[in-house]
Amino acid sequence: MEQPRKNWSKRKKYLAGGASVLLVILVLLLVVSRNVNSWAEQKLQKQIATQSKGLYSLEMAKLEVSLLAGSAQVDSLWLVPNEAVWKQMQKTSPAQAPASVSDLKADRVQVRGISYIKLLFGGAFSLSSIQLDHPQWVLRQMKEDTTSQPLHETVGEQFRKTGINEIRVKDGAFRFKNKPGRQAELFAVSGVELEAQGIKLDSASLQDTSRAFYSEKVTASVKEATFWLPQGNYKLKSGPMQASTKKQELTLNKLQLIPLASAAQMSKKAGMAVTRFSVQVPELRLSNVDFGTLSRTSNVHVGSLVAYKPRVNAYKDGKNYPTKGSGIMPHDLVQKLTFGVNIRTAKVRDLYVRYEELAEKAFKTGYVTGSNIDLTLTNLTNDKNLISMKRPAVLKGSGLLMGKAPMQATVRLALLDPNGYHSIEGTIGKGYPAILNPMVEPSMFVRVKSGVLQRGSFKLELTKTSAQGSMQLQYDDFKIDLLNKKEEKKKQGLGSKLKSLVANKVILKSESEEDGKAPREGKIQVQRRSERSFLTYWKDCLANGVLSIIGAPM
C-alpha cells in the first residue's frame, strides 16, 4: 500500500506543477493579449510605411489579434497613397517609383489560421482564410509600365512561400484610372463576389496547367462592369457577370455598347464621317474558356461563344462630313491584335441590324434592316499553325432583308493573308425589290416601281483592293422610276418620267431569261473604295452584280 501512495503523491506534485505552469502561461497570454492589439497595430503601420518607403500609410479603426485562435480582424482599414512621395521617388530614383498606386478601403478584413510562431521566426507558413468585406480598390496608373513581371515576382520572398486555403471578397468594387489626377475612371466594377481556393504565389503555381491565377479554383460574380473606350466616344457596360475557372464558363448579361456623343459630334471630332453604333446583347455565354492560359500568357482560348438576340443600330452622315480614312477589313482586326486568340466556334442567334445613312447627295436619310439573323463563325484565330488559305475561318449566316427577303451566305476568310483574301457565296430567296426603296431612293434617286425576285445566287473572290465574281437572278416585271435630285422636287417630274420610260423600255432588262422562267447572269467587278468598311465593300459587290444583270449603266 505504501508504494501506490508514494506514486499517487508524485503524480499530484506533477499535476500541480503542470497546472502552475499552465496558469503562468495563461496569465502571460492574458497580459500579452491586452497589449498585443495596440502593439500589432503600431507594428503593422510601421511595417507598411517602411516597406513602401513612405509611399503608403495604413489607417484602421480597430485591430483584434487572437494568439490562441490564430486570427486577426481589422475594422475600417484604409491603405492611403501619398502622391507627393511618389513624385519625389520618380524624381530622384525613377526605377523605384511604381507604375501605379492603390487606394484601398475595406469595412472589415478577417484573417484566420495564422501561425504566429512561424510568422515571428520566419519561414514558410499558411493561412486558412482571408475575407474582405466591402473592399473598394482604386488603382491609378502614374506612368507607363515597362515591366512584364508576373505577380509572384513582385511580392516578397515570404509571401511566395505562403499558402492560403481560401480568399473571399464580399460586395467589392474596383476602379482603374489610367492617368494621374484623373477623376473619371477607365474601368470600373461593382458588386464583386469572389472566392479563390488553394492559392500559392510562386512560379510553380503559375505554370501549373491545372490552376488559373495561382489558384486551384476561382468563382466570381459582378453586378455591373463599365469600360470607357479610347477617344471617349463609347462606353461598354455589362450587367450581372459570372465566371468559374473550374467549369471554364463566363456569362455576361445586358451587355451594351453605349455612344457618349452624337454622330455629328463624333464626325466633327474625327474630321470625317463616322458611323455611330448602339449595341445591346441580352446574354453572352462563353464555355470551355481556358482561364489558365489567359492567366499565364494573356492569350484568349475559347471553345464556344454564343450571343443571344443582339440588337445593332448604326447611323452615318456622309452628306455633311467627308468619307475618308482607311476602312477596316476583318483581316485587319485580327492581325492587329497584340495577344493570341483562338475561338473554335462563335454563334450569334436572332440578330437584328438597322443601318441608316445620309448619303452625300441624298435629300433624306435612307435605311436598311436585317432581322432573324443567325451567324456561325468557326476557326477564329491568329495562330498561324491553325489557320491558312486551306483552313480559313468560315462564317455562315442566314436572315431576312428588310424583314421579308430571305438570304444566306458563306464567307471563307484567310485572316492572316496580307492581301485580305476571302470568298463569299450565297443565295437570295423570293422577294420584292421595292422593299429596298428606303435605301435606294435617297442615295441613288431611283424608286423600284414593280418586280418580283424569284431566286438568286452569287459567288465572289475578294482581296483588300478588288473583287470579282458572278451573280444569277430570276425575276419578273422589274420597273423603276427615276427621281429628281432636288429636295424641293421629291415627286417625279416630266423629265424624270421620260427618263424612267426610256430606262424601263430600252436600258433595263425587265425580265430574266425566257420571260422570267430562267435566271439571268451578270458579272461582278468592283474596285474597293479604301475608305469604306468591309460591309460597304460587300454591299457594293452585290449592287454591282444586280446592275450588271438588269443592264443598268454603272
DSSP states along 352-373: EEEEEEE-TT-SS-EEEEEEEE
Tell me the sheet residues that pair with 193.
Answer: 221
What pLDDT does residue 463 have?
A: 96
H/E run at residue 164 = strand 163-177
**Residues facing residue 244 across a β-bridge:** 219, 249
Report yes or no on 125 lying in a domain: yes
The conformation of residue 86, written as its DSSP 8-state character, comes to: H
H-helix or E-strand containing 139? strand 136-141
Measure the CA–CA gap between 299 and 294, rounded to whole angstroms: 5
Q: Which of 97-111, 136-150, 326-340, 455-469 has the lowest mean pLDDT?
A: 136-150
The pLDDT of 118-137, averaged and rounded, is 78
Q: How many residues does the chain have?
A: 554
Name the most confidently modeled range: 157-166, 174-183, 217-226, 494-503: 217-226
pLDDT of residue 63 exceeding 90, the answer is no
The predicted pLDDT at position 263 comes to 94
Using CA atoms of 170, 61, 45, 49 in order, give the dihedral in degrees to the nearest 10. 80
Distance CA 345, CA 305 (A): 6
Distance, in Å, from the CA atom of 525 to the CA atom of 466, rounded to the nearest integer, reads 8
Q: What percent of the chain has pLDDT over 70?
A: 84
> What is the 8-class DSSP label of residue 435?
G
| Residue 498 pLDDT greater than 50, yes or no | no
| Residue 35, pLDDT score | 59
Q: Is the pLDDT of residue 275 over 50?
A: yes
Radius of gyration of the chain (CA): 34
Residue with more model confidence, 466 or 542: 466
Is residue 278 assigned to a domain? no
Q: Report which of residues 121 and 179 the model is more confident about.
A: 179
- In a domain? residue 95: yes
**Residue 244 pLDDT level (bands cut at 50, 70, 90):** very high
* pLDDT of residue 29 exceeding 50: no
Domain containing 175: what range? 43-215
Kindly report the average pLDDT of the chain as a whole number.
Answer: 84
Count the Cβ atoms, other than its own, within 10 Å of residue 51.
11
The whole-number average pLDDT for the span 91-113 is: 90
Cβ-contact 428, 456 below 8 angstroms: yes
Query: How many domains are there within the chain?
Result: 1
Question: What pLDDT was estimated at residue 549?
Answer: 84
In a domain, 94, yes or no: yes
Tell me, yes or no, whether 129 lies in a domain. Answer: yes
Question: Taking residues 105-113, what's their average pLDDT?
Answer: 91
Q: Give me the residue label for grid cell 480598390.
A: 137
What SS3 string covers 404-419? CEEEEEEEEECCCCCC
The reply to whether 178 falls in a domain is yes
Average pLDDT over residues 161-185: 85
Which of 215-229, 449-463, 465-479, 513-527 has the highest average model confidence (pLDDT)? 215-229
**C-alpha cell belonging to residue 382:** 491568329
Structural domain contains residue 156: yes
Distance of CA 473 to the CA centre of its chain: 41
First vs last C-alpha separation in the chain: 127
pLDDT tens for 332-348 read 999 999 999 999 999 99
Q: What pLDDT score was predicted for residue 123?
A: 57
Please tell me the pTM assigned to this model: 0.85
Question: What's the confidence (pLDDT) of residue 50?
Answer: 86
**209 DSSP 8-state letter:** T
